[in-house]
Amino acid sequence: MARENEEPTLLVPDIIVNFNLLASWLLITSWKKLGIDTYIVSPGYRDAPLLAVLQAEAGLTTISAFDERAAAYQALGYGKATGKPAVLVCTSGTAGANYYPAVIEAAVEQVPLLVLTADRPFELVHAGAQQVIDQRALFGRFVKQSFDFPCPSPTMSLQAWTSYAREALRLTQEGAAGPVHLNVPFGSPLDPLADRGEELSKARKTLARLWQGWDRQVMTSVQPKLNEWAAESLLKDLCSAKRGLLILGRLSNAEEQASALAFAEDLAWPVYADISSGCKGRLSREILDAAHPAARACLDTYQPDCVVHVGRRLVSRAFDDALEAWNPESYWVLSEEAGIQDPAHLPQRMQLMLGPSSLHQFRSSLRPQSPSSEQGALLTAMKGLRAAMREMKFADFGFAAVAGTVNAAMKEFKQGLFLGNSLAIRAFDSWVYDPIYPVVCEANRGVSGIEGLLATTMGLAVGSEHPWTLLIGDVSLMHDLNSLLLLAQQRLPVIIVLVNNQGGRIFETLSIRRHAWVKDPLMTTPHGFHFEGLASMAGISYKLCSDNSQLQDAYTKALIEGGPALIECLQTADVDARYSQELRKITITKESL
């Protein structure tokens, strides 16, 4: 602290020679003091003041990504891995619009993200100037808050700028996390040229005083609480159910997973663990996905009277359809996800914004129970179904074979697994019968889009500091080709296992397959593309595989070397449809139910 009548120490570095740089430094330094140190920036001129400060300020990680859409997904992955936001920085015009898909994903998945768009001064927005759009509220309702700053000037309130920087960070992390947008217009000079006059000198001294006491300011957080009536009602249902079923949806971290696993073991019900829960393959009473016709038949016979869903949404919609048909006496959803998590809108649903870590309060009240005859029959039938799947030979090189090979090889390596959408994640969710866990598993399931998946994985690699495998389909990778060049540039430890079945073959497994005139070619989008040339252009290690043995050798080698690498698995268009048909042939006898 400065003594009375003594000027405080001047903390503003010498590079801050105009108000554009001062404003940029205010935001960046405010976040730095609060632990935010990772920036993913895209080229441009309007954001030059921000880029200059990032270059000059020590202790920051600045990643250059020339494609804004890929940059946004990389920031999304970083937020998933660390629980804190990366800061996206771009120039004016349509640059920020390229962030939109990842911003929507962050909103739905509740991932912290700070979006900092540079803008032109207001007087140029509607005057026909180049590279300008109205960027105010650019992301609409998909951000928790949008802050529109004035142009930096001698009259700017330094205290307001630092206050809003803190508020933006608080909003993106507190409660249901999500993206926050800050739009900052910059006038001339955009270059680091010195302003004339005494205003900047006065502002620097004012800011030095403002920084005093900063470290004593604490950000607050509010946690949801479970009221007494809901706690008693839930506990009553947990103890009285005869045919209970526990569903574990997406869980955010190891702490939530540990709480859910302990709760599941104490509850002693049959349990379905979604691939995104991180609990799949780690439970003693685990059942298979209701998407299997035989599994659904077993569950229909079991007819759950109480269903408890812990965590966020599932990959498969099969349980949504089944719940509507079962219409259980009680249905509890315990999730921190905002909004109704029940597509069927069951009238008996009780939904609480309650995280898995809160389940500990019920464990001591659960009475030890032996499996009922109905539970025993269900678990025996599921064991038989799993054995039947194990006996199915992967004569064809399909998604199921690839998922099984990746799953088996990862047990020897500390490796994160990112699953692309459509068939990639469903192969692991439904077709891997003996998953190897624990393994860090991630996916973009907020809106289940197929863009930006490689970029998201790259962000996870930056944030987690361990290698990642991305299992992805050909159409999905086509939506993110620029990220191949970014991967080569950044040399991140990412292995891409690409399943090239010449189009969007998930439609072959759906009911639309009966209507080929609708399905082909506008839904399946067949093509003749291969990816060796792209890997060569990017300077990434490449291997083409046409059978499971080749994949096993190539993937094991890539795991040892650490990536970046691209392994292309060339498949026929109908291989997964044939596998689905074989699964539908599996039946469970009535004697086993």
Peptide bond before residue 521 is cis, with ω within 30 degrees of 0:
yes
Q: Which of 199-213, 216-230, 532-546 has the highest mean pLDDT?
A: 532-546
Is 167 a domain residue?
yes
Distance, in Å, from the CA atom of 453 to the CA atom of 470, rounded to the nearest integer, reads 8
Neighbours of 278 (CB within 10 A): 27
C-alpha dihedral, 51 to 486 to 111 to 281, nearest 10° = -160
Which of 368, 388, 408 marks a domain boundary?
388
Same-domain status, 360 and 384: yes
Query: The domain that contains 273 carries what CATH number?
Result: 3.40.50.1220
Q: Are residues 366 and 421 in the same domain?
A: no
Q: Helical H runs in 83-141?
A: 100-109, 122-125
pLDDT at 392 over 80: no
The domain boundary residue, chosen from 216, 240, 273: 216
Q: Does residue 503 sit in the same domain as residue 547?
A: yes
> Mind listing the pLDDT tens digit for each residue in 254-309?
889 999 999 998 888 999 999 989 898 888 899 999 988 899 999 999 999 999 99
Place of tokens 């890539």: 558
Q: Residues 169-191, buried b or exposed e (16+ Cβ, 10 A)?
A: bbbbbbbebbbbbbbbbbeebbe
The reply to whether 503 falls in a domain is yes
Retrieve residue 518's tokens: 């609708």
Average pLDDT over residues 57-79: 93
382 and 408 co-located in one domain: no
1 pLDDT higher than 50: no
Select from 188, 216, 244 the last residue of a domain. Answer: 216
Predicted pLDDT at 153: 87
* 156 domain residue, yes or no: yes
4 located within any domain: no
- What number of helices (H) and strands (E) belong to the chain? 22, 17
**Same domain as 447, residue 504:** yes
Indicate which CATH number applies to the domain containing 206: 3.40.50.970
Task: Assess whether pLDDT exceeds 90 at residue 89.
Answer: yes
Q: Do 39 and 183 lie in a common domain?
A: yes
- Looking at the structure, do residues 246 and 301 belong to the same domain, yes or no? yes
Number of domains observed in the structure of the chain: 3
Instruction: For residues 158 and 271, state if they share a domain.
Output: no
DSSP string, 305-343: SEEEEESS--S-SHHHHHHHHH--SEEEEE---SS---T
Bigger pLDDT: 369 vs 39: 39
pLDDT attached to residue 178: 96
Mean pLDDT of 362-380: 80
pLDDT at 247 exceeding the cut of 70: yes
210 plus 172 within the same structural domain: yes
The answer to the question of residue 277 being in a domain is: yes
Q: Where in the sequence is the domain holding 112, given as residue range(s)? A: 19-216
Residues β-bridged to residue 470:
418, 496
**Are residues 366 and 233 part of one domain?**
yes
Residues 315 and 377 in one domain: yes
pTM of the model: 0.83
In a domain, 12, yes or no: no
Q: Are residues 287 and 426 in the same domain?
A: no
Q: What are the Cα distances from residue 127, in Å, to 289, 362, 509?
A: 57, 62, 52
Q: Percentage of the chain with pLDDT > 70?
A: 89
Overall average pLDDT of the 85-96 stretch: 92
| Cα–Cα distance for residue pair 464/442, rounded to 1 Å | 12
Residue of 245, 350, 226, 235 whose CA lies nearest to 305: 245
Q: Identify whether 460 is part of a domain.
A: yes
Write the pLDDT tens digit of every residue in 416-427.
Answer: 999 998 888 988
Average pLDDT along the chain: 85
Is 590 a domain residue? no
pLDDT, tens digit, for every residue of 505-536?
A: 777 766 667 777 666 776 677 788 899 999 99
